[in-house]
Amino acid sequence: MKNKYVSLNKCINLTKKLKNQKKKIVMTNGCFDIIHSGHVDYLTKSKKLGDILIVAVNSDKSVKELKGRSRPINNLKNRIKVLNAISCVDFIISFNHETPQKIYEKILPDILTKGTQYRNMEVSGGNSVVRNGGRVSFIKMTRGQSTTKILNKILYL
């Protein structure tokens, strides 16, 4: 299986080449701690908006800051391994900050996707993408699917 995990610099260079080839770049981000069917649906819908899908995944430190000290359940290496196996994902990068703002500013995808639950919020990186001629697209999430629900179900078994 091809390793889709790349450094930020390599991703920036690849993105420039792909844009020169008139490829539409879609990018999203998340923790992807316990990957479930909702994640797969979301990533598949994101990929359908363009030619190349880049997934930025939070580092372990970043997940801990966002979700609490008991997270992540799966470490970054294992989360990347699972994302690597999802066919619609073309490239994976990781980031160590609370938000991927700086990554979006450097990669400047044509489309940044987020779940509809973020529709009325400021999307990290969204302003940079829009200023560069791109857009933010909101993807309807699969009802009833979330990592938090899965964890709660396990806790109450």
The residue ranges of every structural domain in the chain are 8-155
Q: Under CATH, which number does the domain 8-155 receive?
A: 3.40.50.620
* Average pLDDT rounded to a whole number, residues 14-29: 98
Residue-wise pLDDT for 68-125, tens only, equals 898 999 999 999 999 999 999 999 999 998 899 999 999 999 999 999 887 877 899 9
In sequence order, which residues have a C-beta less than 8 Å from that of residue 81 and are 6 or more positions away?
Answer: none
Whole-number pLDDT of residue 119: 83
Of the candidates 127, 112, 55, which has an alpha carbon nearest to the alpha carbon of residue 84? 55
What does pTM read for this prediction? Answer: 0.93
Bond into 72 cis (ω within 30): yes
> Which position has the token pair 């709660």?
152
